[in-house]
Chain A
Amino acid sequence: MVLSIAHNVIVENDDAPLSYRRQPTRGEVISEICTQLDAFRSDDAQVIRGATVISKDLNIDSLAVMDMIMELEDRFDVSIPMNAVAEIHTVDELADTILKLTARR
């Protein structure tokens, strides 16, 4: 009997736009992240950069962070494991994680 039913990783791919069934470019991923984060800039003058620390530099609460991750997962047809989420601080790190996962598809 196989003891581990590994269903902690749920791949939800029904909603992914067709364009991202191919490997997205880094620019596309960054641009999508920036779109998601736009509403959470701490002021209108703030520019979101690769080094922007998501939970610190932006006015985003924990539930909204989870929503954003879920949106990105749907958009790029990936599932970011919880250990990887726990290691992401910046926009760059989030983009790298998504790119690594899309490359593995």
Chain B
Amino acid sequence: MSPLPSRNRQLALRRAGFRSVPEMLDYAARGETGVTFYSARGEALSDLPWKDVRERAHIVARKLIGAGFARGERLLITADTWPGFFDAFFGAQYAGLLPVPVSIPVGIGGKDAYLDQLRRQFAASGAVAAVGIDDLAGFLADAAAEFPAVRLHGGMDVLEALPEKPVELRPLQPDELCYIQFSSGSTRHPHGVQITQAALMANLAGMVGPAGLDIVQGDRAASWLPLYHDMGLIGFTLAPLSAQLSIDYLTPRDFARRPMQWLNIIARNKATVSYSPSFGYDLAVRRGAAQVPADLDLSCWRHAGIGGDMVRAGVLERFAETFEANGFDRSAFIPSYGMAEVCLAITFSKGGTGVRTDTVDRVVLSEAQRAQPAPDPDDPLHARRFVICGRVLPGHELEVRDDAGRLLSDRAVGRIFVKGPSVMPGYFGEPEASREVLSPDGWLDTGDLGYLLDGEIVVTGRAKDLIIVNGRNVWPQDIEWALEARRIVKSGDSAAFSVDTGEGERVVVAVLARVAGEEGRASLARDVAGAVREAVVVDCEVVLVPPTVGLPMTSSGKLSRSRTRANYLAGHYQPKPAAA
């Protein structure tokens, strides 16, 4: 199977400027470009020109409309990287239904946690139908059993079995929603971001336009990013579609197993645009560097984007050094910043400048919240390096404010606020949670901390306790609740937090050890680590805290994760158990 072309023969490149996803697909379907799915071995499994994506979507849409689904109803889709996702997602767009992409289970023993998450997503989205890969049909049935509103669920065969009726398509209109993006919030209380067609169109225009990736004729996208994540779906399905690009896909799990396939696909198909959180670049170096094919040529890679977690300069430098001999150009790096609440992107670093950093004094930063240039940038004990993530997209505003809401000047660290046409109208069905982050005049509280430097943003951390591991958001509550639910520790006896290793985040779970003896302590530590792995699929360090020491509380009697973390960093919880 030869790759789909990177250029359309006749169709003129149009960079966004559409009014809705159906309009975008209608236009791209007039060309020859499209999407190709690759296996872990780098073989093309199937390809779908945009023309076929549209035709298949029309069939699905007529089936859904014919089955009596009403405009605005929600269709939950397990968002594995496979053609079925495209059928369901774009089918819903032409049927006037709202897709709700959800993740697929990861790791072993994760069934219960996955079902729990599915149920919460059914509840939060009020979905009336759910489809996914055949393997997950059983899990969808289990989770849907508690929701009588769910009228259809199963593998893609349940959609296929619906009769295709001669009904009029009823595409989602420019003033309607596009889909619901689960992203922020804990898995216990998932918040579904309402992605509107209008906000999406505005964000896509920024992304593919001159202030973003500045897409040109012949550009080609490659991606292993999960389609249930905004960076995967908006960044690497909808953005390339908005500029009629071809896309080459690898599934996230095949990438994790064989990260070199990502680079092989880029090199072989001459892809020019590909993104990853820092950890993906790290994985490619750690697990791929030993088996770099001699003829791997990455000189085609024009935009190597970084987003989805804190951008790590050290990791990117190692990647650039490792693959320099293969033609990788470090000036291709584009650090960027964003979140689902603005569809995807807020800032892009200027193309062609690579990773630029600012090195500040650690002590002044943590004590005075000022990013003061470090006297000796090479002293790792006193200097902290941050990546500069660029300017806010045209038509948008970005401010850094202090706790009292006052505007801060350059180099003063505060909360990042954003306003503009990409900002969501709110979380689906959750006016209260929406009001917490959106002001009446349209400013979004990103919950992130950072400072401005000549109009560019530098993100320094998160205001909340959110943990990000390998690009995944993990809420400390989810870890603590998992331990309580399994009766490993009582409520309030554990505190989860992350520590910055300079290369990424490491999860630490401090638990009160109400057990005696070395054997009991070791067994508790194993239980905690095992439960955390099962519940949220992250590896953690377990710290056992004697009950006589206790975990720190806030003045209102609530567990203080930040103080637990500070105690841990100060070495108050030594010695660490060996078996964690």
Contact = CB atoms under 8 A, between A and B. Distances in A.
Interface of A: 1-10, 12, 42-43, 53-57, 59, 61-63, 65-67, 69-70, 81-89, 94
Given A3-B159, A62-B539, A56 B529 contact: yes
Nearest to B40: A10
Interface in B136-160: 136, 138-139, 155-157, 159-160
Interface string B526-544: 1101110110011100000
Given A4-B156, A8-B82, A66-B253, A83 B59 contact: no
Contacts of A5: 45-46, 82-84
A89 B37 CA distance: 31
Given A7-B37, A66-B256, A67-B257, A86 B156 contact: no
B110 A86 contact: yes
B40 A12 contact: yes
Contacts of A56: 526-527, 529-531, 533-534
Contacts of B60: 3
Interface string B34-51: 000101110001100000
B537 A12 contact: no
Contact of A85 (B108, B256, B527): B108
Contacts of B435: none
A86 B142 CA distance: 14
A2 B59 CA distance: 11
B80 interface: yes
Contacts of A86: 105, 107-111, 114, 139
B530 A57 contact: yes
B104 interface: yes
Given A4-B155, A56-B527, A62-B537, A82 B105 contact: yes
Contacts of A10: 39-40, 45
B295 interface: no
Given A56-B526, A86-B114, A62 B157 contact: no
B135 A55 contact: no
Given A57-B526, A67-B257, A4 B84 contact: yes
B344 to A, nearest CB: 26
A10 to B, nearest CB: 5
B579 interface: yes
Contact of B534 (A43, A55, A67): A55
26 contacts: A2-B160, A3-B159, A4-B87, A4-B134, A4-B160, A5-B45, A5-B46, A5-B82, A7-B39, A7-B45, A7-B82, A8-B135, A10-B40, A43-B579, A55-B530, A55-B534, A56-B529, A56-B530, A56-B531, A57-B530, A62-B107, A62-B533, A66-B256, A82-B135, A86-B110, A89-B109
B257 A3 contact: no
A82 B104 contact: yes
Contact of A66 (B41, B45, B107, B114): B107
Contacts of A88: 108-109
B106 interface: yes
Given A3-B87, A53-B530, A56-B534, 14 more contacts: A1-B59, A5-B45, A5-B46, A6-B156, A10-B40, A42-B526, A55-B534, A56-B527, A63-B256, A70-B257, A82-B104, A83-B105, A83-B135, A83-B136
Nearest to A64: B539
Interface in B16-52: 37, 39-41, 45-46
B156 A3 contact: yes
Most chain A CB inside 10 Å of its own CB: which residue of B37, B110, B522:
B110
A42 B104 CA distance: 30
A49 to B, nearest CB: 15
A5, A7, A84 — most chain B CB neighbours (10 Å): A5
List 8 A-B pairs, minimum CB-CB distance, nearest first.
A56-B530, A4-B156, A81-B135, A86-B111, A86-B105, A61-B539, A7-B45, A8-B133
Contacts of A70: 257
Given A9-B135, A42-B579, A3 B45 contact: no
Interface residues of B, number: 50
Contacts of A61: 533, 539
A8 B41 CA distance: 14
B40 A54 contact: no
Nearest to A70: B257
Given A7-B82, A61-B539, A66-B256, A82 B527 contact: no
Most B CB within 10 A of own CB, among A8, A67, A85: A8
B514 to A, nearest CB: 19
Contacts of A89: 108-109
Nearest to A87: B111
B533 A55 contact: yes
Contacts of B55: 1
B62 to A, nearest CB: 12
Contacts of B157: 4
A65 B256 CA distance: 12
A16 to B, nearest CB: 14
B120 interface: no
Contacts of A87: 109, 111
A43 B579 CA distance: 8
B170 interface: no
B46 A7 contact: yes
Contacts of A67: 257
B462 interface: no
A84 B107 CA distance: 10
A56 B534 CA distance: 8
A74 to B, nearest CB: 11
Nearest to B529: A56
Nearest to B80: A8
Interface string B91-129: 000000000000011111111001000000000000000
Nearest to A10: B39
Interface string B560-580: 000000000000000000010
B133 to A, nearest CB: 4
Contacts of B136: 82-83
B521 interface: no
